[in-house]
Structure 1
């Protein structure tokens, strides 16, 4: 389901060197252990649970998840519309979570452009007046410059010839173009788009998406909430939310056939283990107990040589998994695995019962893992024969 969603398809500006921003963040957007809990009649509800996210300047990021997964709350943290219960939000040189309401309004008006699913144009104002409104609010540019800039932005989105019409006189797709022009009014570095194509037909949605791509090419950073899987595959990368947590991109890559609910289940049950360079993770001949997904670094897979040495049979990196063969056979480990001597590694771990529960829930995943295990077994036997 998620195969190919995590490769960067758009060139991005190189990351800043450490400490380039005032608060020590090395990317334009940085959320550190952000949680948000709402009080409800049924008790506390955690919409975001210890979210850590980095987005660099010039990235086009899709935010994906089911209703209630925390997508809108995440966007509200970045825009400053809402505040975290705990954690920190840094945008460029600004610690957004420390701003008071008046400071927040001024900062947001100058730094974040927001595109809504339902356009939110003021019905009594003409299109050009709608685009001028953010400039008026933030006292950006002179009155003459505001009109000239608004017309320039409307021209950029192909709506200059409609500038003096009211929103009700144009189509939904045209209103969304105007909403994008309005979001660009103060030349913010960041555009947040919440389901911007959700109310558009497919042709118009493609046109709006192409406009976003051009803005990224011009250096804008865009985060877009979307349910459209085709569009999600065309962005720089995808961030998947499930139950208020970000699904590790390498877990989603390794288990790309799982649904959002199933990925959420994996993230709730998996434990994170870190291994130093050269550390043994599992040993040939030991009982199979865990399933491992590499989330950082690399590992070496090797088997015992009859003369007492070892035979290297595989190298695996982030987004790969291991430990499946022994679990599928309900037996012992057929090979040993150690963390790379160069990088070490971090892994997400499911125990034996969790692994079999996962396979029972996803027949497609079972078939894929069965096939990978068969191929690896054959590769190991070939490597052993070659070495002997």
Structure 2
């Protein structure tokens, strides 16, 4: 019989394996393009972009230079590629300046040149170059409204693409006529390249009207000048078939599915059968928590739909509609809701974390739950349901000492969720 420490150790090893599978040092070398006759310029943005740049430097045989922007605290030493840090998830002036410099760097290139673009999750806020008529302050208002709205990542990035001077294919268009090779680490459900950092090098078939529909759907209160850009059509992105993107190609080098498969291998080695429920589960975090708790309970009680012992693995990106005054975090909100639905059921343990090491705006990746989570909380004077209603999962799990802290992981393949079901212990 596995004890609490043994199960928690397994959960952490699975998370570590998922993160390791998406490390740029492992994924980058085989995907590098052939050396061009002209120059190689490296650009990029995202939480993993600095580590991606370092992997390029270590494996590129010839001269190169460039600029990438990553989140504060995520820089790594590079010799030939400049690393700039900026704010995530709400953009700042450092990101704005980096985006402008990036466009300047790729303008005027020729057909013999190649631009290697390194893109990972977080790039949307790290490249906050607004269209004419929109300010950085406007972009900050838009980002904050989207983050609090409960919109999916696809919906948020649709709005962002139509307010940007660099996203929605515009960065690739600026590189024309050079060849553009984009290496992507996916952090979005479905791995749609348009939604990874809002697709700076990818053609986009969505429209300003689509973005307006999302604004109306969630009742977003945005500045009038922002709405004017969408209503007028001035924010249209670069569409499929645009000749400026003829020499642009995209390669997915790390995905949530690959990370889940790595975690599954760890479970098998421990004698626990893994089941991957999906790499792109979406919805309100608290609702997903209830659903997965229900599946875990049915598995433990009935041996349906899976035999125990097993682990239920899933990825994707849930959302949190913030109504309380807490610190948010979709993984801790998922776990708190899941723990309430499990109601102390024996033999069921869970871990949920963001693979970039940051859940929401906290320097905390996620947390763990087990059969004693609720009883320990009540003994400590905590009220789990009140914490959930206040969107304060981080405060709840920190008080219990159950937070999961990884530090900057230098990659990002979205959320990782695992529920271990030992079985034969529920009555």
Q: Report if TM-score (shorter chain) is over 0.5.
A: no
Question: TM-score when scaled to structure 2?
Answer: 0.25
* Structure with the greater alpha carbon radius of gyration: 1
Q: Which has the higher strand share?
A: 1
Give TM-score, length-normalised by structure 1.
0.27
Q: Which structure has the highest helix share of the two?
A: 2
